[in-house]
């Protein structure tokens, strides 16, 4: 579908500009309420991360939904996957997340979950967009929606996270560092691991509205690395601002990214009897991970970049595992969306079951060097794969001779094309990327 407002992961932007304004979000709440009220009286959940503008947009959404006649239940600061879970278990018709995920505090966004805790269907997004063109009319006073707050939202989600590993598994004896990025997991993640018996050293658990993702969390694992090494922890867990990404650090201070975690989870599922033959990554998943999976007899299926595309391919291929190098991982046999805490628990379960370290679990993977150069396009220009560019790509593929790959990927958000080469030899990869980027730049800017 051609979307007017919705991107691949909801609506996102700079606070106070474009559609990220109180006026727009008020109308969005109303339009959402009207669409769901057409199917019968509805209940909508609203949760948010810790950025300061969340209060403003929470109030705007609440007012719009109530004006349309929808009931609202407020969750307060909650991880995105927690909102998905509560939408499903509280039998709500939809869940709304106020978050810009891993972005800085001055951005914010709105995304939706269906009653099943999954991405909202395209036809409902289209109906909401169509409704935005209508005048906002408040329902008669007796039909106004009611608003209430779920006081035990965090506790419900903590118990769900703990339920995703065997009930008798005890994490006593493990010391880990948990970095919550000053985001929405600050009052959830540490308690999950502590209640399971682990000794937890907390980072990024003092949100003030403007420090979300600032030097902490999955996008900035340096603080976690330092803390793991200095405290002698067994490993570290870094989540992003809304809790749907996971990056880990082993006891030596080495970062374990989403690609490596995907491999660890796939091997673990195989060792416990799962017979699935494929997992889903993206066009950016490291070739070394694909080769490591192939040695296990597991195929890597590649989707376009973005969790919506990963989940779609998982559904089409009946795969239970999917993810991206950024740490957005989906364990479909445990939950319905990307969940950093649950993904971490699956890795820890493997460590405990096999009596091994995180460092050992990733030792089968030899990641290949990747080098990327962004080539700018003129405003409004679209990238076209010309015969000359295709010839240049084939020449590089022949040079790599099966030991690497080439990727040309237009950005979905910026006027540029990403030129990437991956292979065993870093110097060769860098040289080939530079040559190809020059060719692309010359041919797209004629």
Domain positions in the chain are 11-151, 157-361, 370-444
Could you tell me which residues are beta bridge partners of residue 375?
Answer: 417
Residue 10's pLDDT band (cuts 50, 70, 90): confident
In this prediction, residue 274 carries a pLDDT of 86
Does pLDDT of 1 surpass 70?
Answer: no
Give the whole-angstrom CA distance, residue 300 versus residue 303.
10
Indicate which residue of 53, 101, 114, 319 is catalytic.
101
Q: What is the pTM of this model?
A: 0.93
Same-fold call for 11-151 versus 370-444: no
The predicted-structure confidence for 107-143, as pLDDT tens digits, reads as follows 999 999 999 999 998 899 999 999 999 999 999 999 9
Q: Sheet of 405-410: strands edge to edge?
A: 370-376, 416-422, 405-410
The pLDDT value recorded for residue 373 is: 96
pLDDT band at 275 (very low <50, low <70, confident <90, very high): confident
Is the domain covering 11-151 a CATH 3.40.120.10 domain?
yes
Q: Tell me the C-alpha to C-alpha distance, in Å, between residue 259 and each of 108, 183, 285, 322, 366.
A: 27, 23, 6, 10, 11
Q: pLDDT tens digits for 139-154?
A: 999 999 999 999 999 9
pLDDT (0 to 100) of residue 446: 57
Paired tokens of 320: 């239970």
- How far apart (Å, rounded) are the C-alpha atoms in residues 397 and 402? 7
- Indicate if the pLDDT at residue 412 is higher than 80: no
Residue 1 burial class via C-beta count within 10 angstroms: exposed 0-12, middle 13-18, buried 19 and up: exposed
The answer, yes or no, to whether residue 263 has pLDDT greater than 70, is yes
Asked if 303 is an active-site residue, the reply is no
Confidence bin at 8 (pLDDT 50/70/90): confident
Nearest to 233 by CA among 208, 201, 205: 201
Fold of the 157-361 domain: Alpha-D-Glucose-1,6-Bisphosphate; Chain A, domain 3 (3.40.120)
Ranking 170-179, 220-229, 395-404 by mean pLDDT, the lowest is 395-404
Which CATH number applies to 370-444? Answer: 3.30.310.50
């Amino acid at each position: 579908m051609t979307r007017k407002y919705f991107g691949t992961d909801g609506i996102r932007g700079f606070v106070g500009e474009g559609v990220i304004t109180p006026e727009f979000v008020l109308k969005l709440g109303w339009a959402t309420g009207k669409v769901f009220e057409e199917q019968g009286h509805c209940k909508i959940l609203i949760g948010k991360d810790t950025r300061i503008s969340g209060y403003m947009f929470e109030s705007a959404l609440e007012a719009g939904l109530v004006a349309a006649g929808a009931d609202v239940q407020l969750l307060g600061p909650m991880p995105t996957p927690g909102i998905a879970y509560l939408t499903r278990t509280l039998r709500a018709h939809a869940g709304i997340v106020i978050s810009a995920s891993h972005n800085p505090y001055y951005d914010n966004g709105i995304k939706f979950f269906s009653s099943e805790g999954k991405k909202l269907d395209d036809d409902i997004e289209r109906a909401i967009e169509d409704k935005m063109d209508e005048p906002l009319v408040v329902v008669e006073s007796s039909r106004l929606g009611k608003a209430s707050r779920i006081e035990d939202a965090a506790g419900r989600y903590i118990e769900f996270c703990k339920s995703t590993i065997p009930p008798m598994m005890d994490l006593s004896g493990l010391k880990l560092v948990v970095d919550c990025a000053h985001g929405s997991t600050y009052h959830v993640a540490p308690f999950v691991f502590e209640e399971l018996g682990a000794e937890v050293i907390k980072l990024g658990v003092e949100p003030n509205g403007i420090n979300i993702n600032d030097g902490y969390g999955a996008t900035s694992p340096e603080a976690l690395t330092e803390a793991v090494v200095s405290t002698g922890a067994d490993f570290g867990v870094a989540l992003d601002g809304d809790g749907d990404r996971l990056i880990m650090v082993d006891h030596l201070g080495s970062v374990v990214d989403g690609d490596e975690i995907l491999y660890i989870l796939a091997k673990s599922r195989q060792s416990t009897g799962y017979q699935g033959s494929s997992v889903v990554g993206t066009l950016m998943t490291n070739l070394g991970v694909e080769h490591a999976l192939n040695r296990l007899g597991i195929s890597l299926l590649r989707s376009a970049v973005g969790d919506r595309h990963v989940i779609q391919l998982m559904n089409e291929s009946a795969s239970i595992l999917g993810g991206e190098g950024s740490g957005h991982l989906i364990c479909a046999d445990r939950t319905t969306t990307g969940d950093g805490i649950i993904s971490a628990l699956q890795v820890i379960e493997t460590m405990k079951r096999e009596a091994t370290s995180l460092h050992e679990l990733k030792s089968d993977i030899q990641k290949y060097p990747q080098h990327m150069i962004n080539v700018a396009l003129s405003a409004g220009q679209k990238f076209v794969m010309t015969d000359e560019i295709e010839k240049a790509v084939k020449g590089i593929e022949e040079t790599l001779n099966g030991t690497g790959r080439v990727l040309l990927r237009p950005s979905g958000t910026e006027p540029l094309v990403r030129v990437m080469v991956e292979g065993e030899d870093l110097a060769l990869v860098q040289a080939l990327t530079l040559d190809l980027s020059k060719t692309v730049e010359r041919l797209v800017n004629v």
